[in-house]
Amino acid sequence: MTGFEASTVSQVFAGLIATALYAAAYLSFVRLLRFPRNWVTLGPSAVGTTGLLVALTVAWVSLSGHGLDTVGLAVSTAFIIVIFIIVAAPAIAFHPANRGVEFLAKHAEHAGLWLLAPALVAGLAVPNIELQAMLAAAMVIEMSWSLRQHLAGRRLQLHPFNDSDLAVLETQAGGDLEAFRRRHGIRELVLSGDNVRWRGCGKNTPPCPFNLYVNRLGLNTAPCCREHMREISHYVAACLRDIGAVHWLEGGSLLGAVREGGELLEWEDDIDISVLLDAEMSWDRLSAGLTERCARDGFFIDLFERKNLISISFDAPKSWPFRWERYRLRGEIRVDVALYRQAISHGETVLERQSHKGDMPATESGGYGVPQEIVLPTSTIDFLGSTFDCPHKPEAYLRVLYCDFEDVEYTYVDPAAAETRRQTDMVK
C-alpha cells in the first residue's frame, strides 16, 4: 500500500469515527430531552453520558498527532452548542421560555437546516477531515429529520372550531385572526374567508403544540386534540383495569369530571391518572404490563422509575434510533400516570406521591400526600363519555389539591392572555 493510499484510508477511518461519535452524542442528547418534556429533573447519569460523548467528539475533531487544532476546536464546539440548542428548543419551551427559544420551537421541523450554509462554509474553509465528517453527519441528520416531519405533516387533516373555541380565539386575537396567526406563527390555524379551521394531528403526524399555543395564548385545546385525549384516556384506564391496578382520575382531569360535568377543561393539555403501588401491584408489574400493551397497540411510553411517573403518549412508537427523536417534537397528547404508595405522616395514613401536585401537603418522609380515606375505596365518575375510577370523595380530594376548586384558575404563562380569557368566560 502506497503512502497516499494509507493516508486516504486513515482519513476515511478518522471521518467514520467522527461521524459515529457525533451520531452517538446526538442520540444521547435527544434521549435526554425526555426529562424536560415530562417536567422531570435531569438525571446526573444521563447528563454525564451525553457530556462525555460530546467531549469525545470535540476531542477527536480537534486533537491529532500534530497537536491541537484550535480552529477545529472552536468550530466543533460552537456548532454542537448551536445545533443542540435548536434541537432542544421544543423541550425547553414546555416550560416558560424566552422568545428566542419559542421561535426555534415553533420552527422545530426545519430550524436545524439553517445551519446548512455555515456548516458548508466551515467544512470548505477548515482542512480537517474529522470536522468535515462531523458537520456532514449533523446536516444529514437534520435533513432526514426535516424530510420526515414534512412527509408526516401531509397527513394532517382540517378540523372546524366549535362556537366556544372560535369565541375564545377571536377574543384573544382582538378580532384580527390573520394578524394573530402571523404574530404568533400559528401554522396550524387555517383561514379561508369566514371559515376557521385547525390543521389537526394524529398518531403519525406532528402533535398539537399545547405549550406554545394553548397555555401561552389562552386558547382552547384544538378539537382534534380533545378527541385524541378522549381516546388515550379510555385506553389507559382500560389497561389499568386489565392488569388490576387501583387507580383514579387526578388533577385537572378530575377537576373536569367534577366541575365541568364530565368534560375536559377547555385548555387541558394532558390526562392525569394516579395508581397505587402496593404488595400486589409493584413498579415492575405495572410498568411491564403497560409497556407490553402500549407496544402492542401503538402508543409511546416513557418510564421514570426514580420519579414514580409513567407517561403514555398518543403517537406511534418508532424503531430505534428514531424513537428517541420524538423528543424533538413541539408537543404531544399524553396521559401522565403518577404513582402513590401508602405511608404514615403525622399519625395519619396517607397515600403519598414523590412529586408536588397543586396544594397537596408535604409528608414527613419528604413526599406529598392525601388522606387515604379520601381516596379508598375508589368510586366512579362519568368522564369523556365513559365511566372512570375516581377518589372515594372526589370533592374533598380536589379541595386538598386546589382549595376552592370551583373558582376557575387560569394558569397561563402570559398574564394578559389569562385576564382576557377570564373576561371572555364571564360572559358565556
Q: Provide the β-strand partners of residue 309.
A: 304, 338
Residues 6+ apart with CB under 8 A from 379: 389, 390, 391, 392, 393, 394
245 domain-assigned: yes
19 & 65 share domain = yes
Residues 144-159: what's their mean pLDDT?
91
137 domain-assigned: yes
pLDDT score, position 322: 82
Q: Is residue 226 within 8 Å of residue 201, measured between CB atoms?
A: no
Q: Which helix (H) or strand (E) holds 283?
A: helix 283-297
Name the more confident of 149 and 3. Answer: 149
Residues 159-181: what's their mean pLDDT?
92
162 & 178 share domain = yes
* 299-328 tens-digit pLDDT: 999 999 989 999 999 988 888 878 899 999
Residues 6+ apart with CB under 8 A from 308: 277, 338, 339, 353, 354, 355
Q: Which helix (H) or strand (E) holds 389?
A: strand 386-390
194 & 51 share domain = no
- Burial 79-100, CB ≥16 within 10 A → b, else e: bbeebbebbbbbbbbbeebeee
Q: 153, 180, 214 — which closes off a domain?
A: 153
Name the more confident of 414 and 378. Answer: 378
pLDDT score, position 428: 65
pLDDT score, position 216: 87
All three cell numbers of 60, joined, read 477527536
148 & 162 share domain = no
78 & 103 share domain = yes
345 & 257 share domain = yes
| Residues 208, 230: Cα–Cα separation, whole Å | 14
213 domain-assigned: no
pLDDT score, position 4: 46
pLDDT, mean over the chain: 92
Task: Answer whether residue 211 shows pLDDT above 90.
Answer: no
* 258-298 tens-digit pLDDT: 999 999 999 998 999 999 999 999 999 999 999 999 999 99
179 & 145 share domain = no
**How many Å is the maximal CA-CA distance in the chain?**
84
Name the more confident of 186 and 4. Answer: 186
Compute the residue count for the chain: 428
All three cell numbers of 171, joined, read 377574543
141 & 166 share domain = no
The CATH number of residue 370's host domain is 3.30.460
The range of the structural domain enclosing residue 249 comes to: 223-426
* 77-107 tens-digit pLDDT: 999 999 999 999 999 998 878 889 999 999 9
Residues 347-373: what's their mean pLDDT?
94
66 & 198 share domain = no
Using only C-alpha atoms, what is the Rg of the chain?
24
216 domain-assigned: no
* 40-69 tens-digit pLDDT: 888 788 899 999 999 999 999 998 767 899
How many domains in the chain? 3
pTM of the complete model: 0.91
